[in-house]
Amino acid sequence: MKGMYDLVVYYIIQVNFMRKISKIEPKMPILPTRKRVAAYARISEEKGRTLHSLSAQVSYYSSYIQKNIEWEYAGVYADEGISGTTEDRKEFQRLLSDCEAGKIDIVLTKSISRFARNTVDLLETVRHLRDLNIEVRFEKEGINSLSDDGELMLTLLASFAQEESRSTSENVKWSIRKKFQQGKPNSFNIYGYRWNGEQFIVDPEEAKIVKLIFENFLKGLSAEQTEIQLEEMGVKSYTGGHFSNTSIRAILRNEKYTGNMLLQKVFIPDHITHKTIPNNGVLPQYWVEDSHEAIIDLDTFEKVQDEIARRRELGVFANWSINTGCFTSKIKCGNCGASYRRSGKRQRKDSNEVYYVWTCRTKDLKGISECHAKDVPEKMLQKACAEVLGLEEFDEDVFLDEIEKVTAKGKDELIFHFYDGQIVHQKWKSTARVDCWSEERRKEWSNYQKGNKHAIGSKGRWLEDDKNS
């Protein structure tokens, strides 16, 4: 009996000895990664929406995103008063940039028509974001771009949205053309006038500036010179900003200052691009006489139009404020088509001598990365022109009478286009080093050598003349 008891005790001891105790370490719970969510909102002017409506959309999406505990707020991108068919949507472009930078996982938008009305652009954008694993959710249509049937539904519904845009555009055009037929304008913001709901009323102070602009032009002043004068006078544009030379030119061409109106001077053929083009007989135009009080008499206006045509024919030579020469606007770049401009550099800081070259305007403004056209020394250009014209020396008058333009091509070719249709190809070789080594510089260098006690050795070492002569 005692032996059985000892056996049981031994077994218990062995079991306890072999028992393994494992320590369980505490673990932190792993929370799911929150999705970074942004929204895109847009209000189009064509439906008469207001800033309040856009603000309401921004507030709605900001609150909606931040209430979802699984989402991280990444912002709301909003474009105001811009059509969904245009590419110039700054906030939309910023949204795409942030998506490409990896800042956004999900994009929310009200509907397909708010995102884009061009089917092709819509699909390209959605596919691009899908490649980045970014989901686009269209609230109204209930479409998720990453779903299996997302692209099919987008294609169908975007086509409807595009057709709706076309229909809306056509309705707007019809309404505008109906008003034209009735002698009613479509543009009401004109410097010098205020619209009272029925017709244009003269603004006395602005009318004085309009008269000044017309008077200056007939006196021979350029739009740039008038721009400077108005700046010095403190005169502001219709919007309260700087009075640019572009605005001045537009005033000079606007027949409304004669008290008459020419309606439908331009039109928009494509509702996708929204690009305005001149109406050169494609659609009827409407001339409305004595529709409002005139600021400029018709005779003065016609004289200005004749002067505009004359200056257009002269080109850059008509502008007194520009320092022109016989080569101005004549030398064209064979790479980018831009005109060459004159550039001068002094031979030395203490010298009055200037060495001139003609360089491509694109290259001069934007650098060699935009255009790698070769500069042409002026003396070489004159020499080449003289050879082509059969002259012993270059003559500006003969050049202006005979040559329509000169195209600089490649590194060593000038193409001369004569007014009579003749084209001459002329090779040239740069003589820049010889040209800059003038007689004055030769004398100065000779005097420098005579008065210098040291000369430079063949290996670049300074050597004393009396030891190494």
- pLDDT confidence of residue 124: 82
**What is d(CA 262, CA 288) in angstroms, rounded to the nearest whole number?**
6
Provide the pLDDT confidence category of residue 44 given band limits of 50, 70 and 90. Answer: low
Provide the pLDDT confidence category of residue 442 given band limits of 50, 70 and 90. Answer: low
- pLDDT confidence of residue 461: 41
Quote the tokens at residue 379: 């003396």
- pLDDT confidence of residue 318: 54
Provide the pLDDT confidence category of residue 468 given band limits of 50, 70 and 90. Answer: very low
Collapse the DSSP code of 289 into the 3-class scheme (helix H, G, I; strand E, B; otherwise coil) and give the result: coil
More confident residue, 453 or 249: 249
Among candidates 168, 161, 197, which has minimal Cα distance to 48?
Answer: 168
**What is d(CA 154, CA 119) in angstroms, rounded to the nearest whole number?**
8
Across the range 115-126, mean pLDDT stands at: 76
Q: How many other CB atoms sit within 10 Å of the CB of residue 407?
A: 18
What's this model's pTM, rounded to 2 decimal places? 0.45
Helices 223-233 & 245-253 angle (0-180, nearest 10): 110
Q: What is the mean pLDDT of the chain?
A: 78
pLDDT over 50 (residue 443):
yes
- pLDDT confidence of residue 455: 45
Question: Are 76 and 39 within 8 A, CB to CB?
Answer: yes
* CATH assignment, 193-318: 3.90.1750.20
| Helices within 256-339 (DSSP H only) | 298-314
Provide the pLDDT confidence category of residue 36 given band limits of 50, 70 and 90. Answer: very high
**What is d(CA 445, CA 350) in angstroms, rounded to the nearest whole number?**
14
- pLDDT confidence of residue 282: 82
The DSSP 8-state label assigned to residue 29 in this structure reads -
Phi-psi region of 315 (alpha: psi -120 to 50; beta: other; left: phi over 0): left
**What is d(CA 312, CA 318) in angstroms, rounded to the nearest whole number?**
8
Question: Are 354 and 436 within 8 A, CB to CB?
Answer: no
* CATH assignment, 35-165: 3.40.50.1390
pLDDT over 70 (residue 452):
no
Across the range 328-357, mean pLDDT stands at: 77
**What is d(CA 222, CA 440) in angstroms, rounded to the nearest whole number?**
40
- pLDDT confidence of residue 193: 93
Quote the tokens at residue 453: 């006690």
Provide the pLDDT confidence category of residue 46 given band limits of 50, 70 and 90. Answer: very low
More confident residue, 30 or 215: 215
Backbone torsions φ then ψ of 357, nearest 5 degrees: -135, 160
Backbone torsions φ then ψ of 405, nearest 5 degrees: -160, 165
Across the range 129-146, mean pLDDT stands at: 87
Q: What angle do CA 117, 120, 124 make, to 5 degrees?
A: 110
Question: Are 74 and 37 within 8 A, CB to CB?
Answer: yes
**What is d(CA 379, CA 430) in angstroms, rounded to the nearest whole number?**
10
Domain ranges of the chain: 35-165, 193-318, 331-436, 440-468
* Tens-place pLDDT, residues 343-390: 876 555 555 667 788 999 998 888 888 898 889 998 889 999 999 988
